[in-house]
């Protein structure tokens, strides 16, 4: 059984259809890259999977670990093992990063019928992961993402992912706004999490990120559909030739 099975998915915002019959199958252990021009529906796909209000599926189905994803609220999807790394992580004034992490982790564990982490257990886990990502203790005490640089915010997303240990992580343009050092740190963080049980969907506009997070498969998204699938060399091809032909192809 595939970890994620997307069949003929149609979805949009405010009645405007953006995804127009998308098919995608992701198995455990695989890394899929989804590339495409602006407006092709990359972020819409991420939000529809995570369950953001306003991003409504109109047709098709999505099975996650065999269950209908659309029967689940966003928090239930997260507890079931779906993680979305946001393109623009939000700032939450007044909520300390530590509180946020612990609340999220324990809420998921509770929903899965696992025991909640004690404070010492939790702290040990956070320190371990944060250290590897170069996240200072001071950052963890501060309010979530408030006053963080772009790179810090993205590292914080990877920290959350590492703590929550999802089955499927969707990375929405994680490379945007990152300099080369931050990109390396974030990618290393992601690569450390690669395993036979876990899958990734890496959404990106540029090939650059895929030098660091090497995908098993690359899909080209255009006008709300996957129009081509290939190996990692497809990303290099796109980098060299641009998206022009796919935009035309979709129109044709």
Contact track, another protein, 169-208, x by CB under 8 A: ----------------------------------------
What is the Cα–Cα distance from 215 to 206, expressed in whole angstroms?
13
Taking a C-beta distance cutoff of 8 angstroms, is the pair 78, 112 a contact? no
Per CB under 8 A, the list member of 108, 156, 204, 207 interacting with another protein is 108
Closest by CA to 160, choosing from 135, 178, 142, 181, is 135
Per CB under 8 A, the list member of 105, 133, 209, 250 interacting with another protein is 105
Per CB under 8 A, the list member of 90, 180, 251, 252 interacting with another protein is 90
Binding-site size, another protein (CB under 8 A): 30
Closest by CA to 49, choosing from 199, 195, 151, 187, is 199
Kindly tell me which of 35 and 170 has the beta carbon lying closer to another protein.
170
CB of 143 to another protein, least distance (A): 8
Binding segment for another protein (CB under 8 A), chosen from 9-17, 20-28, 60-68, 100-108, is 100-108
Query: Which segments within the chain are labelled E, that is strand?
Result: 4-13, 16-26, 31-35, 55-64, 67-68, 82-85, 92-96, 143-144, 168-172, 199-204, 217-222, 225-230
Residues 49-88 that bind another protein (CB under 8 A): 50-53, 73-75, 77-79, 83-84, 86
Which CA distances in Å does 40 have to 7, 43, 48, 172?
A: 18, 9, 14, 13
Give yes or no for residue 94 binding another protein (CB under 8 A).
yes
CB of 93 to another protein, least distance (A): 6
Closest by CA to 187, choosing from 208, 205, 206, is 208
Burial class (CB in 10 A: 0-12, 13-18, 19+), 144: buried
Give yes or no for residue 115 binding another protein (CB under 8 A).
no
Interacting residues with another protein (CB under 8 A): 50-53, 73-75, 77-79, 83-84, 86, 89-90, 92-95, 99-100, 103-105, 107-108, 111, 143, 160, 164
């Amino acid at each position: 059984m595939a970890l994620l099975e997307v069949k003929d998915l149609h979805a949009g915002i405010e009645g405007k259809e953006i995804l127009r019959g998308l098919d995608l199958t992701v198995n455990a252990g695989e890394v899929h890259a989804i590339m495409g021009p602006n407006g092709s529906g990359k972020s819409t796909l991420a939000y529809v999977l995570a369950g953001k209000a306003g991003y409504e599926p109109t047709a098709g189905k999505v099975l996650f670990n065999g269950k209908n994803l659309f029967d689940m609220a966003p928090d239930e999807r997260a507890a079931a093992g779906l993680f979305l790394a946001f393109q623009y992580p939000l700032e939450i004034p007044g909520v300390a990063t530590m509180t946020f992490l612990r609340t999220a982790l324990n809420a998921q564990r509770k929903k899965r019928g696992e025991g909640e982490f004690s404070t010492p257990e939790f702290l040990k886990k956070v320190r371990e992961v944060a250290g590897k990502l170069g996240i200072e203790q001071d950052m963890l005490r501060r309010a979530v993402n408030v006053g963080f640089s772009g790179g810090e915010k993205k590292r914080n997303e990877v920290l959350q992912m590492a703590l929550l240990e999802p089955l499927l992580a969707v990375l929405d343009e994680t490379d945007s706004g990152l300099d080369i050092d931050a990109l390396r740190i974030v990618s290393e963080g992601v690569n450390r999490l690669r395993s036979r049980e876990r899958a990734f969907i890496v959404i990106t506009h540029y090939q650059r990120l895929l030098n660091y997070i090497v995908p098993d498969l690359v899909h080209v998204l255009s006008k709300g559909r996957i129009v081509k699938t290939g190996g990692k060399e497809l990303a290099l091809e796109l980098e060299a030739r641009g998206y022009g032909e796919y935009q035309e192809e979709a129109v044709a």
